[in-house]
Every structure is written in C-alpha cells, then in structure tokens.
C-alpha cells in the first residue's frame, strides 16, 4: 500500500531536515518553489509597527518551546 500525499510530504520534509537542517531544507524547497507576489512589499505591511527587538524576543520564545 502506498503513502498518502500528506504523509509523503511530511516524511520528505523530515528527511531533508535530518540531512540539511531546517535552514538547508528550506533553501532546498525554495529552489523548486519560486513563490508568488512581492515579498519586499508584503514584508513592509506584515511587520508594520513591529520592532526588530520584538521579532527577536518572539523568536526566542518559539525556540524555548
């Protein structure tokens, strides 16, 4: 019996992370998924009113859990 697509995606991602780490796995995926839109413009709206210190603190909280 074959794997469901969601399971293939999960197992594939975990294999990439195991070999390349999260950063490397993300870079690998980005090689094949060009994305859409204009991130530079979207980023300005996304992070509007948020300081770099707040972003760093939030990142630290996520890493702790």
Q: How far apart are CA 22 and CA 1, in angstroms?
A: 30
pLDDT confidence of residue 54: 92
Q: Indicate the number of domains in the chain.
A: 1
Q: From residue 46, how far is each of 18, 22, 34, 43, 58 by CA, in Å?
A: 31, 23, 20, 5, 15
pLDDT tens per residue across span 2-59: 889 899 999 999 999 999 999 999 999 888 877 788 888 888 888 889 999 998 998 8
Q: What was the pLDDT predicted at 1?
A: 60
Residue from 13, 18, 15 nearest 33 by CA: 13
For residue 10, what are the domain limits? 5-64
Q: What integer pLDDT is reported at residue 33 of this predicted model? A: 72
Output the pLDDT for position 12.
Answer: 94
Spatial distance between the Cα atoms of 28 and 22, rounded to a whole number of angstroms: 10
Q: What does the pLDDT read at residue 61?
A: 87
């Amino acid at each position: 019996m074959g794997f469901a697509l969601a399971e293939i995606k999960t197992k594939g991602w975990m294999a990439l992370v195991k070999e390349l780490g999260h950063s490397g796995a993300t870079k690998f995926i980005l090689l094949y998924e060009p994305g859409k839109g204009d991130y530079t413009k979207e980023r300005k709206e996304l992070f509007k009113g948020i300081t770099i210190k707040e972003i760093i603190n939030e990142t630290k909280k996520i890493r702790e859990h």
